[in-house]
Amino acid sequence: MTDSISNAPPGKIEPRPSNRTATWYRPTFSHEHGVYVVLFVSLLTGAAAAQQWTLTTTLACLSAFAGFQAEHPLVLQIKQRRSLKPRFLVWGAIYSGIALGIAAYLSLQAPVLIWLYLGAIMAFAIDAISVFYRQQKSVVNELITFAAVCLATPFVYAATVGTLIPTIFGLWALNWLFFSSAIFTVKLRKPKTAALLPGVVYHAIASFIVAALCYFNFLSPFTAAAFIVVLLKFAFILARRNWYQTAPIQKVAILETFCALLFLFITAISLLPAHLSTSNFH
């Protein structure tokens, strides 16, 4: 999907396997470690908003994870152009089958999920076209990608409680705006995209949107306050720009992960009730 907060070096797709291991039954796994963090936080904020964890919550998490894994081999196959790779096709089909099978079952319990599925399918189609035309690292495509991954928040919520409410879309937007910040900060590490203005403009617009969501009651003030984490991160990066541009990618990943977990903690605390009884977990 995107390498904005991935631990892997830019442009790295997958190590070339030996002939012995490059068989169709060898599973593929995405190397986009940063997107795992986005997906993890989005899933848990959706569960926190639902204020309970049920079997359908677990199934939604499995479906979202399988859908994310399905994207990896399918994108690799698209990059091959006319060369068909059985391994990519087989595992893309397996992961897709798991994701779609669970999604179909969940939609029987909560038909409103179909609207989220349509959004995810449209995002994947746009990503596939961008990959084909080698535009997958464009800002627009990465924004769409993050928006799609953050759909895990309303997905888990709707799968758990059976409906969607306006505030859950406010929470989805908060996640999306928070994680999309990495598109602009990571680009500061690359000489060709190191301009400060795009990042400053993005964070100003994102802050205005979060404030508007709070004003119109799509977010509570406490939940909206979690966005301060990304503003502090951006301020830190600007203050330590020389360090940020030359630091090993592992240290950048640690910074991004720490901020994501802090964001999750604040958001979850703001969403969970004062007391959770054992009956909420079944």
For residue range 250-275, what is the model confidence (pLDDT) as tens digits?
Answer: 999 999 999 999 999 999 999 987 55
Q: What is the pLDDT of residues 60-98, one digit of tens each?
A: 999 999 999 998 888 888 888 777 888 888 999 999 999
Q: What is the pLDDT of residues 169-183, one digit of tens each?
A: 999 999 999 999 999
Question: Residue 265, Cβ neighbours under 10 Å: how many?
Answer: 13
Position 275 scores a pLDDT of: 52
Q: Quick check: 8 pLDDT over 50?
A: no
Q: How confident is the model at residue 128 (pLDDT cuts 50, 70, 90)?
A: confident
Of all residues in the chain, what percent carry a pLDDT higher than 70?
89
Q: Which of 213-222, 235-244, 265-274 has the lowest mean pLDDT?
A: 265-274
- Whether 71 and 41 have beta carbons less than 8 Å apart is answered as no
Position 281 scores a pLDDT of: 47
Rounded CA-CA distance 206/181 in Å is 9
Write down the pTM of the prediction. Answer: 0.86
- Whether 7 and 34 have beta carbons less than 8 Å apart is answered as yes
- Whether 76 and 38 have beta carbons less than 8 Å apart is answered as no
Position 17 scores a pLDDT of: 47
Q: Which of 205-219, 237-251, 266-280 has the lowest mean pLDDT?
A: 266-280
171 contacts: CB under 8 Å, gap ≥ 6: 45, 46, 49, 153, 154, 219, 223, 267, 271
